[in-house]
Structure 1
Amino acid sequence: MERTSCPDFNEWNVGKDWLRSYPSEVPHRLTYSRETVPEMLKSTVDAFPHHGAISYLGVRITYQQLWTDVTRFADALVRMGLCPGDAVCIMLPNCPQAVIAFYGILHAGAVVVMANPLYVERELQYQLQDSGAKIIVALDQLQERVMGAIEKTKIEQVIFTGAHDYLTTAQSPACSSTSPVIGDTRLHRWLDVLGAEREKVDFSSRRTDDVALIQYTGGTTGTPKGVMLTHGNINANTQQIRAWFYRFEPGKERVLCVLPFFHVYGLTMGMHLGVAIGAELILLPRFDSDRILEIIAKERPTMFPGTPTMYIALINHPKVRQYNLSSIKGCISGAAGLPVEVQQRFEELTGGRVVEGYGLTEASPVTHCIPLWHKRKAGSIGLPLPDTEAKIVDPETAAVIAGGEVGELVVKGPQVMKGYWNRPDETSAVLRDGWLFTGDLAYMDEDGFFHIVGRKKDIIIAGGYNIYPREVEEVLFEHPGIQEAVVVGVPDPYRGETVKAYIVRKAGIDVSVAEIEQFCRSNLASYKVPRAIEFRTALPKTLSGKILRRQLLEEEKEVAAKNIKNS
């Protein structure tokens, strides 16, 4: 197998203070295979053909069975007229069909476009139009929405599937398929597609620099952009994470996959990493704390990538101590800052380790992580992964800033995207000489650990002072009566902006506004103390568990507009 060598040259190490804090087991640089993403899967199939690949609602699929269905699906796509480089959209929750479709599309030489099953018709139509997708694989329950969205797009074929397609009648007696519209030749059932008579098809030869995935960003700061991730990007990030988690043993791990695969974090940390080490993927369509605790106790996963909101829900579950969670070896937390209290409590309950990582869609996504079995620093996102460079620059001039000072985090590495789909101007704005400008404000400490203090766009400027939301949120999480908290800047006629905190209380604890204000005054400079506090039963989140800070800001704007209108 052809490989590309990245020797540990001394000159590459110069100026990278974080390497001094590296675990001795993790190399500074890696040697990468030239495998495409489906070839990564095939290597695992060859090594562990009879090992479990997927566990889903009681059904188990081996790696050999998975590969058989992947090749059948690829064959079917080619027979449908799919050509190398064409785009195929997947609109599914975590289920076997999502895994099969992803690798099958790539095996056929095409490009994957992941869509959130919660998208409304308008959102889906935009993504299909922008990507130029030719085929869509969707949940049968979404038939009406999908059929409405594909008008004015290039979609030629639609494949519908449901949970019943991998469950026996006894396991899911209530499942029933939504039949395609009679007479519409564009529509197909999943099992019909997989079961069709096979033909000898010549599969396209793809290279590592070919685009494998067009992953759309959330669009919180404008129209969603399609991030082009190549086979090489995905391969590199998977191998970087694998090297970082060096104690995970090939063929012996089980990954709890509740992070949605339509989000790049769940895709890489759950599916790709799991496949790369021959782990069994325990698939769950959505997060439910009751169900998660039952699954951990019964299925005994060893890895659990998640988000702080997931870990918070579990440690505050009233019956958490009734479940055996000791199978958990390690977890990586992403999408938001991991409060120290949450980390400590989760580790106490499981006996495993949970560390914070950092990444963004444009980097496949992981660039930094705290060592799982080595020196850790509370509140840090950790160290750059092997072959990953990072620096802090002035947000305005891009000049490098001295260690310890806050500036914009920029990164470079083999996992960084090829660019934005059909958006050269926006690509050049964030990709400069190979450096990806993240938009996140951070600093590097004396040991080379990086610390995120907020987004450039989220920074609160009150009375001329810069206030970083994460700093205030960390203090709020230390209060024993607070389960979740998020801080935003709201307009203030005197200070320009002021700090507002949205808080979810812990069950059974009646904490007051005055008590929280006093707690903050004891732990923060006066200008950082929230001047407004709103209690809520829940905070708005994405399916991956990320709190929608922008939605709260939009709500504030609407309230302000109504007040002005009524005044």
Structure 2
Amino acid sequence: MEKPWLKWYDPGVPASINYPEKPLKDMFNQNAAANPDRPYLIFGDSTITYGEANRFARKLANSFLSLGIKKGDRVAIMSPNYPEYVIALEACYKIGAVAVPTNPMATVRELIHQFKDSGAICVVAWAGVADKAVQILQEQSAFLSHVIVFRAEKDKFQFSDRVIKYEDLLEGSKENEPDIKVSHKDLAMLQYTGGTTGVSKGCMLSNFNILSQAYQDHYWFRNSYADLPYLKTLCCMPLYHIYGFNTNININKVAGGCAILVTVPTIDHILDAIDMHEPNFYAAVPAMIFGLKEHPRTTSSKIRSIKGMICGSSPLAVEVMKRFEELSGATITEGYGLSETSNVLTCTPFGKRKPGSVGLPWPDIDIKIVDIATGKSEMPVGEPGELIARGPNIMSGYWNNEAETANAIRDGWLYTGDIAYMDEDGFFFIVDRKKDMILSSGFNVYPREIDEVIYELPQVFKTCAIGVPDEKRGESVKSFIVLNPGASLTEEEVLRHCRERLSAYKVPKYIEFIDELPLTPVGKPMRNELRKRELEKFKK
């Protein structure tokens, strides 16, 4: 197929890459052997070198084996950006266990679904959220056999042979490399996302999928750090999100650099990390860039240590981009991707940008725009249609979900559900989402899930959630509600109900009570019409 985008690649970015057929653990072991004293994880004022991280990961991997966790078993990791999250991930790779990144903000109800669906038998959890996993273990709401808790305060948990203190587990464990054969074809991660129905699905990512993406990351961004001793990423995006994982931990499988972990990414904490450790690469979302642009400390900070950046999740306002680049001296690239693609499909090159574009397909990624009705006819240049893709980084399917897999992957192509077009230079532009997903601060929010929670209120006759423009978050959730005749309900009552049942980023920011919703002929709320009305208000 024709690839008009290749001519716009930055110098040194190849059209194709020779990916090694290695498991992820081999890449980590290779880095640890080559540079055992190089920082791998920086957290506050502490540093964990590659050699130390490898020793900790081996100890935890051997501990997993002693608990009966074997190759192919699923291990959930539930934590903000602490070093233990990464150590647990590396330990899974070492024995061929399948890591299940888990949002620590998820409610018990959401966790039960993910643990049941994945069949996770163990959870490694930060003490601040581990009580939810312990509750599920004790109530036997899923298939868990163990919860391993790290950074627990004294007497907070009743530890036992099933609820185990991380630090005690490692203390008595062996430091040898586990003798477990792992192939590049083996499943490495179940990255959960949402579907068109709002039901979370596990994207099956192999060692090869993830490592392919790491090589693509490295070749695309390496010009920004090629003249530096090594890559130092500023890790503010959550590691349980594919974006945070890929642009901080995964890229370093090839780059051999380190990640500076920020657990609570307030603008002050981000600036503290910049001033203390001087990162040279930063993966962000618009809200972070906007916050740094506005913060009075930014101009006197060491922000100019950053040489390369990627911004994802939603479009970045041109004036915000321009001002931040003036402050930092860094060039911001913008990208597009999905959990199903190990993160990135397209990204703007450093040498050429077009306003509103998500850039060019990465090496070895093929993209076509096809008609929405049949998904078979390729659209002319400049005409919108559904974006479909194929490449080495794309998942094999959804875990235990043949129907959704068959719908998403057809004849080797991933049907993204996103509406886009390609211009004459091969730059891609996202027009709309075929799915009604809302992107808020980098998180996928599915309106139907919010609708179902609000429908639990007996006063509600009809409800419909949409995304509305938000300069900081990209989008925020707004729910429209039609009450039953004679019913009474306040905004605060709705929000309180949602907070008890949904993660914080899914809770609507706005509630509007209206007399009627625009409906299709079969009685379904017309989200597009509501979005159109809100966009008109926003423009005014």
TM-score, normalised with respect to structure 2? 0.80
Which residue pairs with 1:224 in the alignment? Answer: 200
- CA distance in structure 2 between the partners assigned to 1:17 and 1:323 by the alignment: 41
Which residue pairs with 1:58 in the alignment? Answer: 45
Which residue pairs with 2:74 in the alignment? Answer: 87
- CA distance in structure 1 between the partners assigned to 2:411 and 2:195 by the alignment: 25
Native 8 Å contact 1:180 1:188 kept in 2: no
Native 8 Å contact 2:59 2:176 kept in 1: no
**SS state of the match for residue 185, structure 1?**
coil
* 2:74 partner letter: A
Native 8 Å contact 2:286 2:315 kept in 1: yes
Which residue pairs with 2:531 in the alignment? Answer: none
Native 8 Å contact 2:387 2:420 kept in 1: yes
**SS state of the match for residue 109, structure 2?**
helix
RMSD: 2.9
- CA distance in structure 1 between the partners assigned to 2:52 and 2:468 by the alignment: 50
Which residue pairs with 2:277 in the alignment? Answer: 299
Q: Within 5 A, what are the aligned runs for 1:380-459?
A: 380-398=357-375, 399-458=377-436
Check 1:179–1:547 CA distance in 2 against 1; reply closer, same or farther (3 A cut). closer
Q: Are residues 1:353 and 2:331 paired?
A: yes
Q: Within 5 A, what are the aligned runs for 1:128-277?
A: 128-150=115-137, 151-162=140-151, 176-181=153-158, 184-198=160-174, 202-218=178-194, 221-247=197-223, 248-249=225-226, 252-277=230-255
CA deviations 1:308-351 (Å, max 9, x no partner) are 11111111223322323110001111111122112111110100
Query: In structure 2, which of residues 318, 321, 326 is the aligned counterpart of residue 343 of structure 1?
Result: 321
Native 8 Å contact 1:388 1:414 kept in 2: yes
Q: How far 1:40 sits from its partner (Å)?
A: 1.5
Check 1:409–1:505 CA distance in 2 against 1; reply closer, same or farther (3 A cut). closer
Native 8 Å contact 1:38 1:103 kept in 2: yes
**SS state of the match for residue 128, structure 2?**
helix
Identity of aligned residues (%): 36
- CA distance in structure 2 between the partners assigned to 1:154 and 1:339 by the alignment: 45
* 1:426 partner letter: E
Check 1:560–1:45 CA distance in 2 against 1; reply closer, same or farther (3 A cut). farther
Which residue pairs with 1:535 in the alignment? Answer: none
- CA distance in structure 2 between the partners assigned to 1:299 and 1:406 by the alignment: 44
CA deviations 1:120-171 (Å, max 9, x no partner) are 1111111111111111101112243222223232111110012x7xxxxxxx
Q: Are residues 1:20 and 2:1 paired?
A: no
- CA distance in structure 2 between the partners assigned to 1:219 and 1:553 by the alignment: 22
Q: How many residues align?
A: 463
Q: How far 1:290 sits from its partner (Å)?
A: 1.1
Query: In structure 2, which of residues 86, 91, 104 is the aligned counterpart of residue 99 of structure 1?
Result: 86
5+ residue gaps, structure 1, are 1-13, 165-175, 460-468, 474-487, 489-496, 507-545
Stretch deviating more after TM superposition (274-283 or 206-215): 274-283
Native 8 Å contact 1:109 1:203 kept in 2: no
Which residue pairs with 1:510 in the alignment? Answer: none
- CA distance in structure 1 between the partners assigned to 2:314 and 2:161 by the alignment: 45
Native 8 Å contact 2:337 2:346 kept in 1: yes
Query: In structure 2, which of residues 277, 281, 286 is the aligned counterpart of residue 308 of structure 1?
Result: 286
- CA distance in structure 2 between the partners assigned to 1:337 and 1:456 by the alignment: 17
Check 1:553–1:255 CA distance in 2 against 1; reply closer, same or farther (3 A cut). closer
CA deviations 1:8-33 (Å, max 9, x no partner) are xxxxxx41111122223111011011
**SS state of the match for residue 415, structure 1?**
coil
CA deviations 1:34-66 (Å, max 9, x no partner) are 111111211211221111111101111110111
- CA distance in structure 1 between the partners assigned to 2:64 and 2:314 by the alignment: 38
CA deviations 1:82-107 (Å, max 9, x no partner) are 11100011001111100100010121
Which residue pairs with 1:168 in the alignment? Answer: none
**SS state of the match for residue 141, structure 1?**
coil
**SS state of the match for residue 417, structure 2?**
strand
Check 1:428–1:220 CA distance in 2 against 1; reply closer, same or farther (3 A cut). closer
5+ residue gaps, structure 2, are 441-446, 448-463, 474-502, 519-540
- CA distance in structure 2 between the partners assigned to 1:197 and 1:53 by the alignment: 22
- Structure 1 segments, 4+ long, off by >3 Å, are 177-180, 199-202, 218-221, 499-506, 550-556, 558-563
Q: Are residues 1:320 and 2:307 paired?
A: no
- CA distance in structure 1 between the partners assigned to 2:232 and 2:508 by the alignment: 37
Q: How far 1:187 sits from its partner (Å)?
A: 1.2
Stretch deviating more after TM superposition (117-126 or 217-226): 217-226
Native 8 Å contact 1:219 1:225 kept in 2: yes
CA deviations 1:373-409 (Å, max 9, x no partner) are x122221111000000001011111111001111111
* 1:383 partner letter: L
Native 8 Å contact 1:141 1:178 kept in 2: no
* 1:353 partner letter: T
